[in-house]
């Protein structure tokens, strides 16, 4: 069966990656609509060998759509999701804004959350995806009691204008042309900004709160999560330094075997110079890479590890498309 697909905010960074990934993975497509608003309407895009003209999302006929992907930048995502669902469409939401009760899903981790064929499925934030992938196989060895993480997030997560700002600021440093920051609160070139999203009353940012909420839902637990999210001067590729505390000791060798056998994970962890994965090496790659796995001597029953992935691939578009593939496998798409 083939499906009538639409992607909202298709010309944006994540939208383009979703369109590209659908074509690369040959997702069964009967028709395809690239949607946007404002000046992006009327622009050109491609989906495989199809040439597309970007259409106005406000005028789209949802009765003629089976599956909607909402990429970051989608206008009024709550209203849009409701309209699409009311017309019989399934929505995969990568904005994190449409429905707080929608299941968050990483297909390698919690495909059971798709039981009952939900009409809206949420794509988790990238940091939660990376950690869920790395920690899921370790849950068979011990129950999680606590997770502490520092998420190092590239500028592509904030969109194309943010990438342009990093480029222009970096160039400006070498020609002594200092530009005021526009996309970020402080200069991003040669700098780190521990601030992603608005601050809440408890001091957490929106991104930190999202990780703390998404990760236990993905892993099926009630353990506390403390995350610090930092914007870094990297274009693409996200990394997370993780400390995980378990309810029993976990042998390092067993942990390595569990990670090696898990789908979607690649263990690259040699204890020598260069025996680890950096964000640059993840660009264009599908797996989540795990490195620096070791016992944490400061806390009983704890492991420390480093995980990295392309935030546009498994950290975003690929995971969204894999959710669609799992819904297709279950016969949960279509009318």
Same domain, 67 and 174: no
Task: State whether residue 113 is helix, strand or coil.
Answer: helix
Same domain, 286 and 199: yes
Same domain, 141 and 179: yes
DSSP string, 65-82: -SEEEE-TT-SSHHHHHH
Same domain, 200 and 245: yes
What pLDDT was estimated at residue 50?
83
Task: Describe the chain by its helix, strand, coil percentages, rounded to 5.
Answer: 35, 25, 40
Per-residue confidence in pLDDT tens, the chain, 335 aa: 899 999 999 999 999 999 999 999 999 999 999 999 988 888 988 888 888 899 999 999 899 999 999 999 898 999 999 999 999 999 999 998 878 889 999 999 999 999 988 999 999 999 999 999 999 999 999 999 999 999 999 999 998 999 999 999 999 988 888 778 999 999 999 999 999 999 999 999 999 999 999 999 999 989 999 999 999 999 999 999 999 999 999 999 999 999 999 999 999 999 999 999 999 999 999 999 999 999 999 999 999 999 999 999 999 999 999 999 999 999 888 76
Closest CA to 70 of 316, 286, 284: 316
What pLDDT was estimated at residue 45?
87
Task: State whether residue 108 is helix, strand or coil.
Answer: coil
Same domain, 198 and 301: yes
Domain assignment present for 108: yes
Same domain, 103 and 141: no
The domain that contains 151 carries what CATH number?
3.30.360.10
Same domain, 32 and 69: yes
Domain assignment present for 47: yes
Find all residues with CB under 8 Å of 176, minimum gap 6, and list them: none
User: Distance (Å, rounded) from C-alpha 242 to C-alpha 128?
Assistant: 11
Helices 126-135 + 206-219 axis angle, to 10: 30
Same domain, 283 and 152: yes
Same domain, 173 and 322: no
Same domain, 117 and 172: no
Domain assignment present for 24: yes
Same domain, 295 and 320: no
What pLDDT was estimated at residue 74?
92
Domain assignment present for 151: yes
What pLDDT was estimated at residue 180?
84
* pTM, to two decimals: 0.94
Same domain, 97 and 153: no
Domain assignment present for 306: yes
Domain that holds residue 138: 128-311
Domain assignment present for 335: no
Domain assignment present for 334: no
Find all residues with CB under 8 Å of 188, minimum gap 6, and list them: 155, 162, 165, 166, 169, 181, 231, 233
The domain that contains 16 carries what CATH number?
3.40.50.720
Number of domains into which the chain is organized:
2
């Amino acid at each position: 069966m083939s499906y009538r697909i639409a992607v909202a905010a298709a010309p944006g960074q994540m939208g383009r990656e979703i369109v590209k990934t659908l074509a690369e993975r040959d997702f069964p497509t009967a028709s395809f609509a690239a949607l946007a608003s404002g000046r992006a309407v009327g622009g050109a895009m491609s989906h495989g060998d199809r040439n597309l003209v970007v259409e106005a999302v406000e005028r789209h006929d949802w009765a003629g759509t089976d599956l909607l992907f909402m990429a970051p930048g989608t206008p009024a995502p709550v209203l849009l999701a409701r309209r699409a669902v009311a017309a019989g469409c399934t929505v995969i939401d990568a904005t994190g804004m449409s429905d707080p009760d929608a299941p968050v899903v990483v297909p390698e981790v919690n495909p059971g959350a798709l039981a009952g064929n939900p009409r809206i499925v949420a794509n988790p934030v990238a940091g939660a995806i990376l950690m869920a992938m790395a920690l899921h196989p370790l849950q068979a060895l011990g129950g999680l009691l606590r997770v502490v993480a520092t998420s190092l997030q590239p500028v592509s997560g904030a969109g194309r204008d943010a990438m342009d700002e990093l480029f222009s600021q970096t160039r400006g440093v070498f020609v002594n042309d200092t530009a005021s920051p526009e996309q970020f609160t402080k200069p991003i070139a040669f700098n780190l900004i521990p601030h992603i999203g608005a601050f809440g009353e408890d001091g957490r940012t929106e991104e930190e709160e999202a990780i703390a909420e998404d990760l236990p839902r993905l892993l099926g637990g009630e353990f506390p999560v403390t995350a610090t999210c930092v914007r870094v001067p990297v274009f693409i590729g996200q990394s997370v330094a993780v400390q995980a505390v378990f309810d029993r000791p976990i042998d390092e060798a067993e942990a390595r075997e569990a990670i090696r056998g898990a789908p979607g994970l690649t263990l690259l962890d040699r204890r020598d110079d260069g025996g680890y994965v950096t964000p640059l090496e993840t660009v264009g790659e599908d797996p989540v890479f795990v490195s620096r796995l070791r016992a944490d001597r400061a806390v009983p029953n704890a492991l420390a590890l480093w995980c990295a992935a392309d935030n546009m691939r498994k950290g975003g578009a690929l995971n969204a498309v894999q959710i669609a593939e799992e819904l297709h496998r279950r016969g949960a798409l279509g009318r």
